[in-house]
Every structure is written in structure tokens, then in C-alpha cells.
Amino acid sequence: MKAPIILAVDTSDFETAIAWIKATENSVSVYKLGLEFYLNFGAAGVAQVVKRTGAEIFLDLKLHDIPHTVAGAAKAIEQLKPRFLTVHASGGRAMVAAAAQAVPDISITAVTILTSLSESDLFEIGYGSPALESAVALAKLAVAAGAKALVCSPLETAAIRSAVGPDPIIITPGVRPLSEQGSDDQVRTMTPADAIAAGANYVVIGRPITKAWAGGAEAMTQKARAIADEILEALA
């Protein structure tokens, strides 16, 4: 059974991306293709991934520009039919609305506060409120503008779920199995099971699964299955 995992396919090698998807397809629900992948392989690369694997795609481009430009970019991506397309909520109400109106069949997914940012980072950037308050405000703005999904730190998930209600999909990066805590650059983290319990619909997991590729496809399959089972057992 698949778990509500979005696997971060963070590789610059196309065939490796295909192999990762095939190795984890029985455990993972959706696959995140980000800016690195898109700049390396373009729309044609995304289309080939879908054609060869049948995977559902979370296209994580974090669009952020004036509303007209973001609407045009979203329309250009529409033919790829990703399930999710990310924009920065900090682009403002009009920008999020422009994206949502341009591609009504795609879930425009608003990113609140990046999980790599600490409170001191936010202060340095110029945010006037702590991460929790800022993330909740951005989430409410984005949903009101037409976003169907949100990306937030697991530490803000419960507050955002309370603020936006049950309908928007909440996706949380920055989740790490207990064995992986403190191993990378994301500073606001939680276990996958705890993030789901807090109100997330999906958790984004990358390196805890993909680093198993060093041991081969079967090792990666087993690692994905173990993490999927951890989440599914918590939901049972």
C-alpha cells in the first residue's frame, strides 16, 4: 500500500530519476520534480517521466513574479498536467489568484515559509512576525486567493490546519525519520508520522530514501517501504 509520501527526485541524471521512481512506486504516492530537474531537462523531460512511469507529479518551481507573468508560466506548464504546481505565497494575493485562475485543473500549491529558514533568518530578511504567525498569514491569504494546497513546515502544520479548515491539502517538507534527525540543512523538522498527525495530507521525503540508492535499487525499495510502513502504522 502506498503511503502519503511525495518523494523528492533531486538528481541531475535523467535515468537515475526514472530508476528512483520505479524503485519506489509501490510505496510513494507522488514525485517531486524541482527547479534543478526542470532546468536540466525542461518540459520535455517532465513529460517523459510521466510517459515512462505514469507517476503523479508535484512540480516544484516556486513561481514568484508579477501576476501576469506567473499566469503565463502556469499556462505554459498546463500541458504537463502535474497534480501540484508550486508558487510562493509571498508573491501576494493577486499573483496566487492569477496562477489559480490560469490553470483551474491543477492544484496551485502555495509555499509559505521555506523549511531551511530559521527565526533569525526571517528577521534578517525583514519579516515582522515569527515563522508561525507569518506562515499562518500566508496560508490564509493563499487559500483565499484560490490555492488548493499549501506547503509549510511541520511545526506550523497544526496551526495552519486550524486556520484554513479541512479542505486545502497540506504538504510538509522538513520531515525526517528518527534515525535521520539533524542530518541536513532543514532546521524545522518533525517525524513523518507526527506531521501527518498534526494535519498534513502529504509529507515530502528525499535524502532519507534516495541515499539508499548507493546500495542499489532493492535497497532503495526496502528503505521506501520501511518509511511508508512507519507512516501507515501511525495512521492505522
Taking residues 18-25, report their average pLDDT.
Answer: 98
Count Cα atoms within 13 angstroms, Cβ side, for 222.
Answer: 8
Alpha helices, DSSP H, located in 28-175: 35-53, 67-77, 93-102, 119-125, 131-145, 154-164
Model confidence at 180, in pLDDT bands (50, 70, 90)?
low
pLDDT at 183 over 70: no
Q: If 0-12 CB within 10 Å is exposed, 13-18 middle and 19+ buried, where does residue 104 land?
A: exposed
Residue 102 to residue 91: CA distance in whole angstroms: 16
Fold of 3-235: TIM Barrel (3.20.20)
Q: Which of 62, 81, 148, 211 is catalytic?
A: 62
pLDDT at 66 over 80: yes
Residue 211 to residue 145: CA distance in whole angstroms: 38
Position 60, amino acid: D
Residue 139: what pLDDT? 98
- pLDDT above 70 as % of the chain: 95
Q: Contact 110/89 with Cβ under 8 angstroms?
A: yes
Taking residues 217-232, report their average pLDDT.
Answer: 94
Q: Tell me if residue 81 is catalytic.
A: no
Domain ranges of the chain: 3-235
pTM of structure: 0.93
* CA-to-CA separations, 224 to 3, 227, 233, in angstroms, rounded: 10, 5, 14
Range from 7-11, 14-18, 153-157, 230-234 carrying the lowest mean pLDDT: 230-234
For 62, the grid coordinates are 516556486
Residue 234: what pLDDT? 81
Residue 84 pairs in a beta bridge with: 58, 107
Which secondary structure element, helix H or strand E, spans residue 228, and what is its range? helix 217-235
Q: Mind listing the pLDDT tens digit for each residue in 76-94?
A: 999 999 999 999 999 999 9
Identify the DSSP state of 27.
T
